[in-house]
Amino acid sequence: MDIRSATAQDASGIVALHRSANPYGGWYRDPFQKLGPAKYEDLTPLERYFHGGFWMDLSLFRRHFHEYQTRGFPILVAEKAGKIVGECEVWRDDEPAPFGRYAEIVMLGAGSPPDAEVEQELVLRAAERVRKLGYPALDLSPLHGGSDRVVDLGFRAIWDTRTYEADAKAVSKPEVEFTTKFLAGEYGDLGLFLALDHREPARWRFETLAALWPAARVAGLQDATKVTAVAVETESQRFAVLAARREWLDPAPAELDVWLDPSNLTDDVRTREAYQVGAEIARRLGTKRLRAYGPPHAARTLPELGFSGGNEPDPWLRWSF
């Protein structure tokens, strides 16, 4: 098996790898409800995206790959007998503590069922690569592009995002006055805040959900997603809210991401205020359900607002060298 840096010529092989792992078992106009069976060739790039992301369509992946190359993010492939049998994509970023400067595996693909040996070799090579780039650790989010089969290499949890849901009408309106400033597609000051929804790198989450990632634009996600990204100011604090409603889902809850000043992470009053204001902003997307995210220590006041859930761990792992 040969592990090497991917080139543009590998694009079709990488897409074929991901297509073979289609989690829906077939191709549909609406894979979530398995409605409208169709041939792969008859689907639009957006419909193919619904089956598993940018990796399910060659035009989308080529644009995705080009952006990775432009930003200098490592993409590795595993090859056997001239065939791509695995790929690994590493995102590099710098965020407030506890994340700091890090490199994270945002995609690890090795067929269906995944080949554990291929996954392990890709992760080991990725670790070697990021060490050479000067990073002290390699991160992994097993439920979002990583794999729980490589955790034993030395990964340990440093964050745990939980998911909470509520009836939009049941969450009381904010008791404080607040002002908002639309971010207009700019990451900017967001980098100063800590993303409480940290299942993916914060910038990756922002760019892909807001359809700023070039492949997302090619797919037409900006027309299929209602998004509000705002900086918020109250009398006591500044924070940010990213709220999104994916129109292709039925029902389509409004997803609520709160980005908090790190110094307020353990301040129950201010985190409660931020989530309550965020819920009000998310409600404006016209939804009956709200879905919020955050670690247990920051989201412990959510039940007071009418949210339930938060029982399933969704860890962010780190392998320190």
Residue 25: φ, ψ to 5°: 75, -5
The reported pLDDT for the residue numbered 215 is 97
Average pLDDT (143-163) is: 92
Same fold, 2-154 and 160-312: yes
Number of helices (H) and strands (E), helices first, in the chain? 9, 17
Please report, for the chain, the start and end positions of each structural domain, with discontinuous segments joined by +.
2-154, 160-312
Q: CA 40 to CA 309: how far, in whole Å?
A: 37
Helix (H/G/I), strand (E/B), else coil: 267: coil
- Domain 2-154 belongs in CATH node 3.40.630.30: yes
Token pair for residue 55? 């990796």
CATH number of 160-312: 3.40.630.30
Residue 288: φ, ψ to 5°: -95, -20
Under DSSP, the state recorded for 215 is: H
pLDDT by residue (tens digit) across 51-78? 999 999 999 999 999 999 999 999 999 9
The reported pLDDT for the residue numbered 188 is 82
Q: How confident is the model at residue 145 (pLDDT cuts 50, 70, 90)?
A: confident
Q: CA 200 to CA 106: how far, in whole Å?
A: 7
Average pLDDT (128-157) is: 93
Edge-first strand order for the sheet with 156-160 is 2-5, 75-80, 83-95, 100-109, 137-140, 315-320, 156-160
Window from 235-244, 245-254, 278-287 with minimum mean pLDDT: 245-254
- From the list 75, 79, 85, the residue with the least C-alpha distance to 20 is 85
Task: Return the amino acid letter for 127.
Answer: A
pLDDT by residue (tens digit) across 77-98? 999 999 999 999 999 999 999 9
The answer to whether the CB of 111 falls within 8 A of the CB of 17 is yes
Identify the sign of the CA torsion 82, 105, 69, 211: positive
Burial of 65 (0-12, 13-18, 19+ CB in 10 A): buried
Q: CA 204 to CA 139: how far, in whole Å?
A: 14
